[in-house]
């Protein structure tokens, strides 16, 4: 018999998914000073901090 999800679990999942929508994956191309080739820096950043991440060197 399958286990029934409780109402609290559904509320937690809704809150978690709402919070997860505030985060975004940012990929930044960074040029290597040694070889001149591009590498990519990936990170997950809060949506309010995206411009700060891209502006940082």
Max Cα separation, the chain? Answer: 61
Given this model, what pLDDT does residue 26 score?
A: 96
**For residue 2, which phi and psi values (nearest 5 degrees)?**
-75, 145
Residue 8 lies in a domain: no
- What range does the domain containing 24 cover? 19-55
Residue 3 lies in a domain: no
pTM (global) more than 0.75: no
**Tens digit of each residue's pLDDT (9 = 90 or more) over 2-53:** 666 666 666 667 777 778 889 999 999 999 999 999 999 999 999 999 999 9
Residue 40 lies in a domain: yes
Say whether pLDDT at 56 is over 80.
Answer: yes
Residue 47 lies in a domain: yes
Residue 6 lies in a domain: no
Check: CB of residue 40 under 8 Å from CB of residue 30: yes
Given this model, what pLDDT does residue 7 score?
A: 65
Residue 7 lies in a domain: no
Residue 50 lies in a domain: yes
Q: How far apart are CA 17 and CA 48, in angstroms?
A: 17
Say whether pLDDT at 1 is over 70.
Answer: no
Helices (H), the chain: 7-20, 50-55
Report the domain count for the chain. Answer: 1
């Amino acid at each position: 018999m399958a286990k029934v999800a409780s109402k609290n679990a559904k509320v937690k999942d809704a809150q978690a998914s709402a919070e997860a929508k505030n985060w975004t994956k940012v990929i930044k191309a960074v040029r290597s000073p040694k070889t001149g080739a591009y590498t990519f820096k990936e990170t997950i950043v809060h949506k309010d901090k995206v411009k700060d991440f891209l502006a940082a060197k």
